[in-house]
Amino acid sequence: MAVAHARGARRATASEVSSRNAEKRLYQSRRDKTSSSELLPDSKLEECDDDTRESKEEFSSMSELASVSYEARARGVKNGTFLGSALKLCPDLVTIPYDFEGYQEVARQLYDTVAALTLDVQAVSCDELLADVTDVVNAVQVEPLDLAAFLREQIFAKTQCRASVGMGSSILLSRVATRRAKPDGAFHLEDCDAEALMREVSVDELPGVGRVTGRRLREELRVETCLQMQGLSLAELQSAFGAKVGHSLHGYCRGRDDRRINLRQERKSVSAEVNYGIRFRQEEDFADFLSRLSVEVAARLERAGCTSGGRCVTLKVMVRARDAPEETAKFLGHGVCDSLSRSSTLSHPTADADIICREARLLAKQMALKCLELRGVGIQVGGAQANFIIIIIIIIVIIVIIIIIIIIIIIIIIIIIIIIIMRMMTIVMIVIVLINYCHVLSDVKA
């Protein structure tokens, strides 16, 4: 079973196969010339290669699978696989539609369940999070795996979804433990076992190792596993990747990770991008699209609580590569493109859709874009700021409360001083009376 928009795939036509071959050659050529992270991954190139071999059954769908069940994974199907390729590996694969409302509800229940135990949580995605449960384990005096079992029971009772829990002393070890725990279990990776277990881990699973770094490790250093990386010295890794990255990789492959959970994730920007179905015939179509996209960005700024907006407006576009075919292998996909962007800085922050649209249109004019060649469009508002009015009000309220407290304290001190002075005056009066009384007695005796 898999989640996808498409429901099936027909046999590819000769023109579709030709387009895929052309795109594959362009991707391959670009990959050989540059290490840009925007190139098609090796796995995608292999899929395109499989899909264009005439000796095989041809399936045309290049719809990507968003999520794949473990039964399908056992057949070789992975998240992000093209549906056409997936059907070759698993002919009885069944696709189901997206259920965004259901995802939102389950995600809320998942986070609420964990938040009932600890608020030290870092969101990763709708179905994944990092949580520091050290204080909970110490306070309740419970074994980590017992706490994991309790969490899994609670999550299943509320969502009817199975959860996997990985536990470790760091973010890296907990992620490695989670992979061991899947598809439906719990695993606690202790520090004493970390270095030995890390030897089995692929370097692609380490933090910060993306497509480019992974390719360099395999092709330049002949390293594919952490065991092989452990054989490299710190100096060798720093020489290849720089002081900071080299130091991190040297520790990661041994299970050492000093990163901490980020409890305060500050939003830097808000954007909206579309790179599917972009086919403009006239400049007016492009201008109208920028207007509607600006409205969406403004709405997202408001939903994110950034009603003051941001000062930097960026227009991002994907332009059909010079040698790329006009008909893409994926229906209405962007195909092989050059990614371009340009930004402008405003004098004041804005979240106004009209101002955002005006800036985007000016940037498009400066870039001299041809609407017929556009395959993707995005608008980003950077330097997004939280609602300063609310912040100012909160600060004013706090200042007023502090002033009131200070005034109350001063009044109390004044009252205490008055009481003390009155008491002293009373004592003085009594002393004076006693002295006068003594004088009177002396006169009487005399």
Count CB neighbours of 114 within 10 A.
18
Half-sphere exposure of 209 (CA within 13 A, CB side): 25
In this structure, are residues 269 and 382 in contact, taking their beta carbons and an 8 Å threshold?
Answer: yes
- What tokens appear for 258 in the block? 């000093």
Q: How confident is the model at residue 435, as a pLDDT?
A: 85
Residue 189 backbone dihedrals phi, psi, to 5 degrees = -100, 110
pLDDT digits (tens, 9 = 90+) for 195-238: 889 999 999 999 989 888 998 999 999 999 999 999 999 999 99
- Helix (H) or strand (E) holding 318, with range, is strand 310-320
Amino acid making up residue 221: L
In this structure, are residues 2 and 96 in contact, taking their beta carbons and an 8 Å threshold?
Answer: yes
In this structure, are residues 240 and 220 in contact, taking their beta carbons and an 8 Å threshold?
Answer: yes
Percent residues over pLDDT 70 in the chain: 87
DSSP string over 73-134: HTTT--TT-BHHHHHHH-TT--EE---HHHHHHHHHHHHHHHHTT-S-EEEEETTEEEE--H
Q: How confident is the model at residue 203, as a pLDDT?
A: 93
Q: How confident is the model at residue 21, as a pLDDT?
A: 73
Q: How confident is the model at residue 52, as a pLDDT?
A: 44
Cα–Cα distance, 372 to 379 (Å, whole number):
19
DSSP string over 385-430: B--HHHHHHHHHHHHHHHHHHHHHHHHHHHHHHHHHHHHHHHHHHH
Amino acid making up residue 364: A
Average pLDDT for runs of 10 along the chain of length 446: 71 66 74 52 51 45 85 90 86 89 94 94 93 93 94 95 94 94 93 90 91 90 94 93 94 92 82 94 95 95 85 95 82 88 91 95 95 95 65 83 93 93 90 83 73
In this structure, are residues 50 and 85 in contact, taking their beta carbons and an 8 Å threshold?
Answer: yes
Residue 344 backbone dihedrals phi, psi, to 5 degrees = -135, 145
Q: How confident is the model at residue 36, as a pLDDT?
A: 43
pLDDT digits (tens, 9 = 90+) for 345-378: 998 889 999 999 999 999 999 999 999 999 999 9
pLDDT digits (tens, 9 = 90+) for 20-62: 677 777 777 776 665 444 444 555 555 555 544 443 444 557 7
Predicted TM-score of the model (pTM): 0.70
Q: How confident is the model at residue 84, as a pLDDT?
A: 82
